[in-house]
């Protein structure tokens, strides 16, 4: 066989072996955020996250996750479950990834009902109707109760937003609240669960030194 023929056969093999090579590659950066977690991440969060050097490494973590799967786990197994996890190059060994939203059933309130102060980087919010929210470095939490005729007593739900980026409190609460509303709908909550616009939220006054 001539050299030309060998080169032609080799090229053909490369084409065959590489068919679809790029087709299975996971979206990264902005595309990953827009496709993750059933659309809860908005342009405001994406623009803030874009400032990080690790932004373009973000991708949806391996495994199948969804709000429906998280609710099923909470109800059937009575433990926490992630609605979504995104990894970057440094977070593959972390359960929470670089950015994630998790829900935990049966937890107590985030802080005592008679608490009236925030402390340093820890900001506490009373949202009305027994709902609470907190902000700390790298994360945000929300607490609400779900009433349903299918349950003897309300199910308490705590949603947790974790991130390794320098996101504002509003950028953390917006997707967490959207995600929580999806969970509340799947849980068939009959009580009125409505979250405020994060831009209007006021945390409890800071404790004075």
In a domain, residue 191? The reply is yes
- Whether 196 contacts 142, CB under 8 Å: no
Task: Tell whether 184 is covered by a domain.
Answer: yes
15 within some domain: no
Each residue's pLDDT tens digit, 176-185 = 999 999 999 9
Of the pLDDT bands very low, low, confident and very high (cuts 50, 70, 90), residue 138 is confident
175 within domain boundaries: yes
The answer as to whether 16 is a domain residue is no
Residue 8, domain member (yes or no): no
Residue 77 lies in a domain: yes
Domain count, the chain: 1
* pLDDT at 24 (0 to 100): 58
Residue 171 lies in a domain: yes
Question: Dihedrals φ, ψ of 200, to 5°?
Answer: -105, -5
pLDDT digits (tens, 9 = 90+) for 83-127: 999 999 877 566 889 999 999 999 999 999 999 999 999 999 999
Domain that holds residue 112: 27-200
pLDDT at 26: 81
What kind and span of H or E run contains 143? strand 139-146
């Amino acid at each position: 066989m001539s050299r030309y023929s060998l080169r032609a056969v080799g090229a053909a093999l490369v084409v065959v072996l590489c068919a679809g090579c790029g087709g299975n590659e996971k979206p990264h950066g902005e595309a990953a955020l827009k496709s993750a977690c059933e659309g809860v991440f908005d342009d405001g969060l994406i623009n803030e996250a874009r400032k990080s050097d690790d932004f373009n490494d973000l991708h949806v973590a391996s495994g199948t996750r969804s709000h429906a799967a998280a609710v099923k786990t909470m109800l059937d197994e009575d433990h926490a479950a992630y609605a979504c996890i995104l990894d970057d190059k440094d977070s593959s060994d972390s359960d929470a990834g670089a950015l994630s939203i998790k829900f935990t059933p049966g937890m107590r309130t985030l802080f005592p009902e008679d608490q009236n102060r925030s402390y340093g980087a820890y900001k506490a919010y009373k949202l009305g109707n027994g709902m609470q929210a907190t902000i700390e470095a790298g994360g945000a939490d929300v607490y609400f109760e779900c009433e349903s005729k299918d349950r003897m007593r309300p199910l308490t739900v705590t949603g947790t937003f974790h991130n390794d980026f320098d996101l504002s409190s509003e950028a953390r609460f917006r997707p967490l609240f959207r995600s929580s509303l999806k969970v509340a709908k799947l849980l068939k909550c009959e009580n009125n669960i409505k979250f405020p616009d994060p831009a209007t939220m006021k945390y409890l006054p800071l404790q004075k030194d």
